[in-house]
Chain A
Amino acid sequence: MDFIRGIFEPHIPILDDIKEKGVRQTIEDTANDSVRRVTAGLDIPALRGMLRGDEAGRPNPRLTPHADGFWLHMRPGFYNNLVTGLYPSFRLGWLSTFFLTFEIITGVYLMFWYTPSPLVAYQNMVDILSTVPFGRLMRDMHRLGAEVMVAVVALHMLRTLVTGSYKKPRQFTWATGALLLWVTLVLSFSGYLLPWDQLSLWAVTIGASMAEAFPPEVVGQTLNLLVRGGPDIGANGLLRFYLLHVIGLPLAALVLFGVHYYKVVIHGHSLAPEDESIGEDTAKKVPLDKREYFLPTIATRELFYVAGLTLLLIVTSAWFYHAPLEPHADPQVTPLHTTAPWYFLWLQGMLKLGDKVIWGVIVPGAITTISVVFPYFELGPNRRYAARRIGLSGAAVSVFVLAILSFMGTPWYAVQSSADQEVLAELLPQTHPGPLLTSEWDEFEAGTYEAANWQQAPTPALRNVLHLFEESLQQHGETLPNAEGIMVVENWQSGLRKVTLRVLWDSIETGEQTESSQSTYFHRDSAHEVTTRFGG
């Protein structure tokens, strides 16, 4: 019977409150209650007090969101004010996390318009750049963010190494961090394939050939087939790299990041070496006078960084940096001078030293293993710079060696192909548009021009290209005796010109004149400079 009465005589609790306290007070209390629930601990007076810059009361309500809330549960309630300046961390860890989030967001935007199939991937890229509003901006920001993230994560690692923050008890934090660096590199590498243009396909094919080099042979072959989904990178390979890029590696990154950041907070941000007594890890115990609270101080700062960085990234991607789009991937043709992306040039340089198995798998594997586990073998507790001269010198030497290896990875350090091909590739490179196709079309008047007479050419664009041609021929003067360069420009179709480059020289073996030529087509509207990296 009570139940029936309940339907016809509902009991509304709020009416009790109104009867007791009055309408205005009830509204105020309800609002306070809601805000406290949403912020996990701050009601309206506390929130306003925080925003006004008032002293926090005792107990400090601004710590409650950290204790009770999900979003802030891992972030420290307060920092030691010795680590809140730019030194010693340079905020690089924070910056790495920012970029991870930024990449996820821009990546999801791009996923709206991209399908990982060789039949449509390239056209999707073209559509993103030509029919999707802000498509080019999203793509450029994603690419820029990826390249900067690799640099930031590497710098973060270098900083941690230099300040000795990897020492006990933070060895596992370091280990997860080193793994995160690899995850970042592979994320960048797997994403590199997705546009499915010539550079993507071949750079990734060369890089993925490391998998095949894995000893013993059976493991290497299977690994290669699993990664590529076939004997070479085709539809299956693109799909697998896409899965890695979009789900496999981000999951790994989130898990590793979770562990990494949890350990960072549990141990506390390590202080600068000079602020700590040797052998004592005092980071976790922050004296009251050195505390800087997350809410509102650090939170405000971080919000500002997010705003500033976002603006910087938008402005850079809109006007200064553009991701290139080369011609459609062709599995039958490898372009001359294919290179790895810059963060893998060191690996390509190492590969030029010798056998693929040793220099492509064993040595990088050894370097990775050592870099992951060495904190466990470092015995000295002293983080001061003066006491770690050997280690720091070692770090400096490693950076230097990495730079040298990276240079060795570029096309200039290589056994060259025949000199005439090199000369032609100087003007008509096969991996990017090059000086000829980015010239002013209107100035490329029809006619036959000799490279040696470049100064007499009628227009600046022609003079520029012919000058480059002549310089290149001179550079290869030894292997191309008596070299002559001729450029023929013909009007081929409306708005289309055909440019033929001819290299004539006396063959060293026979002494007879030999010729090598290459032609290309140049359209008035092709705007190649727009899709070069730092074009308009």
Chain B
Amino acid sequence: MADAEARAESPAEELAETSLPLTRREFLYYLWGASMAVFMAGTGGATIWFALPRFQEGEFGGVFTLGLDLIPQPNSGPADFPEGRFWLVNNGDSILDDPRQPEVYPVQQGVKALYKVCVHLGCLYKWVATNDRFECPCHGSKYLLTGSRIDGPANRNLDVFIIEAVDAEGNVLTRTEPAMDGREGTAINVPPDAVSLRVDTGRRVQGAPNTAPGGGL
């Protein structure tokens, strides 16, 4: 009104005219908009939390407690745990002497929980006793009892779940650790005072990269 008429037409003042002063109304709108954005972001986060699956003990994704009698004999075939989606293997000394085992990967004697899902594209590989190895039906990836890949399009060794050997009080005596740069979980030797193994199917150690034909880097 009066102010508008009072504004002169000089270029400098016209330039100044283009940045309008912030009114309270405008500021409140912006504040409201920002708070709506924050609220939406919060809703998004809450939705993700809402939608994430819950895992229970004894269900895949949770912890499986196994008695020591379920561990297979060393160097015999793997023990099947379909609910946990893992094979329990006990690597004995014949595995260390196996000529197919690529040398670059550390292999210990002991127990490992191999995740049943092939690391290539998600099919379930099978244990083929006549060939003494795991074979995947989808694209032919093959692995040894230790989890090392020896053939096929997969690009790493098998993933393992973290096993903890616990004693009667529940103390963790020994646990699977990564042996190569955060990858390649080790086999555990079950200590004498352990009473059970806890296989945590929610925590996985990926196999080390393995891309050369026949295994190796």
Contact = CB atoms under 8 A, between A and B. Distances in A.
Given A229-B53, A355-B155, A356-B121, A416 B137 contact: no
A430 interface: yes
A351 B121 contact: yes
B135 A226 contact: no
Interface in A195-228: 202, 205-206, 208-209, 222, 225-226, 228
Contacts of B198: none
Q: Is the interface of A mostly helix, strand, loop or mixed?
A: loop
Given A222-B52, A356-B121, A418-B131, A206 B138 contact: yes
Given A332-B82, A415-B151, A209 B137 contact: no
Contacts of B151: 415
A335 B151 CA distance: 19
A141 B168 CA distance: 62
A226 B48 contact: yes
Interface residues of A, number: 34
A231 B137 contact: no
Interface string B79-107: 00010010000000000000000000000
B197 to A, nearest CB: 20
Interface in A413-433: 414-418, 421, 430
Contacts of A414: 139-140, 153
Given A226-B51, A232-B60, A354-B155, A418 B137 contact: no
Contact of B201 (A205, A231, A335, A337): A231
Interface string A167-206: 0000000000000000000000000000000000010011
A206 B120 CA distance: 9
Interface string A351-375: 1101110000000000000000000
Contact of A231 (B61, B128, B153): B61
B82 A430 contact: no
A333 interface: yes
Nearest to B60: A231
Given A225-B53, A229-B53, A415-B152, A209 B141 contact: no
A338 B140 CA distance: 12
B140 to A, nearest CB: 4
Interface string B95-125: 0000000000000000000000100111111
28 contacts: A202-B123, A205-B123, A206-B122, A206-B123, A209-B121, A222-B48, A225-B53, A226-B51, A229-B51, A231-B53, A231-B85, A236-B53, A332-B82, A332-B124, A333-B124, A334-B123, A334-B137, A335-B137, A338-B137, A352-B153, A415-B141, A415-B152, A415-B153, A417-B136, A417-B140, A418-B128, A418-B135, A430-B137
B137 A230 contact: no
Nearest to A425: B137
Interface residues of B, number: 30
A221 to B, nearest CB: 10
A418 B61 CA distance: 33
Nearest to A205: B122
A491 to B, nearest CB: 30
Interface in B36-58: 48, 51-53
A202 B138 CA distance: 10
Contacts of A231: 53, 60-61, 85, 201
Given A202-B123, A232-B60, A415 B53 contact: no
A278 interface: no
B140 A334 contact: no
A252 interface: no
A356 B119 CA distance: 10
Contacts of B155: 354-355
A310 to B, nearest CB: 39
Contact of B138 (A338, A355, A418): A338
Interface of A: 202, 205-206, 208-209, 222, 225-226, 228-232, 236, 332-338, 351-352, 354-356, 414-418, 421, 430, 514
A414 B155 CA distance: 15
Nearest to A226: B51
B141 A206 contact: no
A225 B137 contact: no
| Central interface residue in A202, A226, A333, A415, by most chain B CB within 10 Å | A415
Given A332-B82, A336-B137, A230 B121 contact: no
A351 B139 CA distance: 11
Given A225-B52, A230-B53, A416 B121 contact: no
Contacts of B139: 352, 414-415
A231 B200 CA distance: 13
B124 A416 contact: no
Given A225-B53, A231-B201, A417-B140, A334 B48 contact: no
Contacts of A336: 137-138
A335 B137 CA distance: 7
A338 B53 contact: no
Given A225-B52, A334-B136, A334-B137, 18 more contacts: A205-B123, A206-B122, A209-B121, A222-B52, A228-B53, A230-B60, A231-B85, A332-B124, A334-B123, A334-B125, A336-B138, A337-B137, A338-B137, A414-B140, A416-B140, A418-B128, A418-B131, A421-B137
A418 B131 CA distance: 10
Contacts of B153: 352, 414-415
Nearest to A355: B155
B85 A232 contact: yes
B84 to A, nearest CB: 11
Nearest to A352: B153
Nearest to A240: B51
Interface string B189-216: 0000000000001000000000000000
A352 B121 CA distance: 9
A163 to B, nearest CB: 38
Name the 3 nearest CB pairs between A and B, nearest first. Answer: A415-B140, A334-B123, A336-B137
A417 B137 contact: yes
A208 B121 CA distance: 9
Nearest to A338: B138
Contacts of A430: 137
A417 B131 CA distance: 12
A407 to B, nearest CB: 15
A433 B139 CA distance: 20
